[in-house]
Amino acid sequence: MGAYWMCNVHDIYGFRQRTFGSWAEYMLFPAGSLNYKVPKSIPLHHAVFIEPLACSIHAVERGDIQYQDTVVIAGCGPLGLGMVAAAKMNGPERLIALDLSDERLEVAKRCGADLGINPKKQDAIQTVRDLTGGYGCDVYIEATGSASGVGQGLDIIRKLGRYVEFSVFGSDATVDWSIIGDRKELDVRGAHLGPYCYPIAIDLLARGLVTSKGIVTHAYALEQWNEAIGVANSLDSIKVLMKP
């Protein structure tokens, strides 16, 4: 029997305690849940990327990327890197990744980004404007988890652009909302989890069109859970795998 992943329309196992998580001896499958079987052809270290990849695909879908778009994805954690890989398949003219880590930007390029910008070392807003004739990007997907990424996106995006907010924040993000309406007339869209995107994620991984190579950076035995969690909470890792 293969492993199973589940995504209801609004919940996944362990999310906000509405559904039980998988770190337990037994799991409860609620009535009405959607369960997807993972093909045996997908190795474990790629299969663990199914859930974040499904979320990434949903965020990219919300951006409605067109062929001649300049797309900026802010944040190159597991979710942001999945967004880069998914956005690349939509064929934008230019795909730009933003992150404060040069190492993660290199992974983003391997996932499909045409350009990586580190805002600590380069003026990201001006660089994007220079590349787009002064207009800014067509689509901005925010996946930094930092409140500063919100204002950055509002500045970097062009008038009538599509702004996708995916991050969950630990503090309030304060911005000048007149940018959204009066100055740019933006289309602001939220993205939440990965509804209906699990079959897509599984198919892309099964066909080798997307992999977790470079994204899963560490692997530990289950007995090493304390060390694994510590590494997962550090900037030394992107995604950490625990093997049962």
Judge if 125 and 38 occupy the same domain: no
Judge if 31 and 69 occupy the same domain: no
DSSP secondary structure, 19-43, as one string: S--SSSSS----TT--EEEPPTTS-
Total domain count, the chain? 2
Q: Cα(197)–Cα(7) distance, rounded to whole angstroms? A: 9
In a domain, 57, yes or no: no
Judge if 73 and 185 occupy the same domain: yes
Of the three residues 164, 190, 216, the one that is the final residue of a domain is: 190
Which residues lie across from 142 on neighbouring strands? 74, 165
Containing structural domain, residue 103: 63-190
Judge if 26 and 116 occupy the same domain: no
Judge if 211 and 154 occupy the same domain: no
Average pLDDT over residues 179-201: 94
> Residue type at 135?
Y
Judge if 75 and 172 occupy the same domain: yes
Cβ neighbors of 16 (< 8 A, separation 6 or more) are: none
Q: What is residue 197's DSSP assignment? A: -
Judge if 28 and 93 occupy the same domain: no
Residue corresponding to tokens 């993205």: 191
What predicted TM-score, i.e. pTM, was given to this entire model?
A: 0.90
Judge if 36 and 118 occupy the same domain: no
Q: Cα(239)–Cα(188) distance, rounded to whole angstroms? A: 29
Judge if 79 and 172 occupy the same domain: yes
The CATH number of the domain where 41 resides is what? 3.90.180.10
List, for residues 112-133, the tens digit of each pLDDT value.
999 999 999 999 999 999 999 9
Judge if 182 and 101 occupy the same domain: yes
In a domain, 119, yes or no: yes
Residue 222, SS3 per DSSP: helix
In a domain, 56, yes or no: no
Output the average pLDDT for the chain. 90
- 132-171 burial: b if 16+ Cβ within 10 Å, else e: beeebbbbbbbbbbbbebbebbbbbbbeebbbbbbbeeee
Judge if 143 and 72 occupy the same domain: yes
Check: CB of residue 81 under 8 Å from CB of residue 109.
no
Judge if 26 and 75 occupy the same domain: no
The CATH number of the domain where 172 resides is what? 3.40.50.720
Closest CA to 71 of 195, 147, 164, 133: 164
List, for residues 74-97, the tens digit of each pLDDT value.
999 999 999 999 999 999 999 999
In a domain, 58, yes or no: no
| 169's tokens | 């924040």
List, for residues 24-51, the tens digit of each pLDDT value.
777 777 777 778 889 999 998 899 999 9
